[in-house]
Amino acid sequence: MKQTWKKIIGLILISVCILAMTACGKNSSEETSSLTMPDEASQQSLIESFGTVLQNISQLDEASIKSYMEGDDAFSAAAASAWDTSGSSLGSFEEVKDGKMEIDDDTYVVTIDAKFENRDADCVFILDKNGTPTSVSIDPVYSMGEKMAQAGQNTVMGIGIVFIMLIFLSFLISLMRFIPKLEAALSKKNKAPEQAKPAPVVAVPEVEEEEVIDDGELIAVIAAAIAASENTSTDSFVVRSIRKSKKGNWHRA
């Protein structure tokens, strides 16, 4: 497979030489940035060469594609990468339907309308001003129905993603009512509980109960008893109050 690929590259280089010779100006000693379009025969030869390149690209297996993609040749890597992206939807190469060559600034652009097993493809080869191929792109051609179906699928997917995000945002908003409760719980948990200080014990002084008896008869009896015990009369003293003594004896106020 690698030998076949090298032969194809050789054919391209031969066409490149023809292109370069055709594109030379009248005065070869003068350098110019403008490019000259080759004659129709050279263009057709270049288009056929690139058609053969497409045929060989479509026959590459996965190992060869990977090998070319990791290689040093820029054009081979670009061709293998283009086929690795689009080859699964195209199938094997059948024929070149049409082709044209144009000049874009300082490059040649070769556009080939190729027919593959599953669908057609637009293949674009870029050559520098010396006619050396630098890159290639292979774009499958889809019908209007397929484009509409793909656009509809993308639209449905986009709308679905938007609704999913709206539902997710609604769910987040519904959870906001729990935030104050959560903050209160965390604040209460992190706050150190204050130790309750025991109330100081205040000693209550014992109050001596004083019995004040205002009963006139009792006072008179006690006064008489005092006068008898003192061998005097009740006129020599006045009983103002009577209270109980803790010592168990009587005294006069």
Please give the chain's pLDDT, 253 residues, in tens.
555 555 555 555 555 555 554 554 444 434 444 678 888 888 888 888 888 888 888 888 888 888 888 888 888 888 888 898 888 889 889 999 999 988 888 888 999 999 999 999 999 998 888 888 888 899 998 888 888 888 898 999 999 999 999 999 998 888 888 888 878 888 877 765 555 555 566 565 555 555 554 566 777 777 777 777 777 776 666 766 666 666 555 544 4
Rounded CA separation 11/49 (Å): 6
What pLDDT is attached to residue 29?
A: 37
pTM: 0.53
HEC readout, 129-198:
CCCCEEEEEEEECCCHHHHHHHHHHHHHHHHHHHHHHHHHHHHHHHHHHHHHHHHHHHHHHHCCCCCCCC
What pLDDT is attached to residue 121?
A: 92
What pLDDT is attached to residue 198?
A: 59
What pLDDT is attached to residue 26?
A: 40
What domains appear along the chain, each with residue ranges and CATH number?
2-25+34-144 (3.10.450), 211-253 (no CATH)
Report the Cα–Cα distance between both ends of the chain, in Å, rounded. Answer: 143
What pLDDT is attached to residue 253?
A: 46
